[in-house]
Amino acid sequence: MGYRYNKIGIIGLGCMGLPMARNLAQKADIPVLGFDVMPKPLEIFEMAGGVPVRDVTEIYKDCDVIMQVLPTHETVIHSVEEALRYGNAGKIIIDFSSTAPDIIWELKEKTEQAGMKLLDAPISGGTPAAEAGTLAIMAGGDKEVFEAVRDILCMVGTPVYVGPCGSGSITKLVNNIIAGMNMLVIAEAYALGEKAGMDLPTIFEATRGGYAGGPVYENKVPKLIRRDYQPGARIAVHRKDIINAKKFAEKLDVSLPVTDVLLQIMDWMMENGYGNEDQIAMVKYYENSMKIKIGNE
């Protein structure tokens, strides 16, 4: 489509957005603007070569490509509506957030009416992949728009075009059901090992090369063993995705019994004040039920 951009912007410099913004600032040959409500991420972003802005409307007005990595549906909707308010036709909005498909479809209509384009491009891989620039990116929208910004997407990860607008969000629901259950079953299995008096690092070494192994296993088991619950992604955000999956399944008139178990334990985490911890902190559910302490600080 011959699309050209002079400035790109990213809104939301949290545990995923900040390393993504740093990669963009270091790899792009055009100005990269960044905004967050907290000052510290802006300082780090500036040190990486980015252009921090204190007024987010600068991004909506000046950037040809507007990216957002936001934690809630409310913030996603507000950001897009502000882009429509302050921006102009021709801009491309890339939503890296985990947004429900029906909300994406509604926002697509609004952006098209304003002459803008929307890609839903949720990401997966947690903070380590965001830092390495190797995120999985599940992109939905017009194929020509995807191709126009593919080079930007490649600066933060590996983009795969999955279909029309909303397809990225649906793909992310599939991804997060699998990832969530993977982390939950790791927590459950290692709780069993602890209860049996086994040495958890030894279990990890013995099993990491088998079918249990993989990226999630390599990242999360050491955190569990160290009792490191600093979030690569927060329980509260992942739980939002699981609720989205449940609601979408209801619209399709299907049940998700295994997902129900995951949501039940995530609900327990929220009720007990653990919503801002890493997903592997779900091991605390088993510590409570088995009356044990799992791992060592």
pLDDT in tens, 171-191: 999 999 999 999 999 999 999
* For residue 24, pLDDT beyond 60: yes
pLDDT of residue 180: 96
pLDDT of residue 146: 97
Encoded amino acid at 73, one letter: H
* For residue 147, pLDDT beyond 50: yes
* For residue 61, pLDDT beyond 80: yes
Token pair for 156:
């933060």
pLDDT of residue 104: 96
pLDDT of residue 1: 38
Domains and CATH numbers, the chain: 8-164 (3.40.50.720), 170-290 (1.10.1040.10)
pLDDT in tens, 92-131: 999 999 899 999 999 999 999 999 999 999 999 888 899 9
What positions carry a catalytic annotation? 172
Neighbours of 283 (CB within 10 A): 27
Token pair for 279:
């997903």
Query: What is the rounded distance in angstroms from the CA atom of residue 10 to the CA atom of residue 297?
Result: 36
pLDDT of residue 2: 44
* For residue 4, pLDDT beyond 80: no
> pTM here?
0.90
pLDDT in tens, 64-89: 999 999 989 999 999 999 999 999 99
State whether residue 272 is helix, strand or coil.
coil
State whether residue 96 is helix, strand or coil.
coil
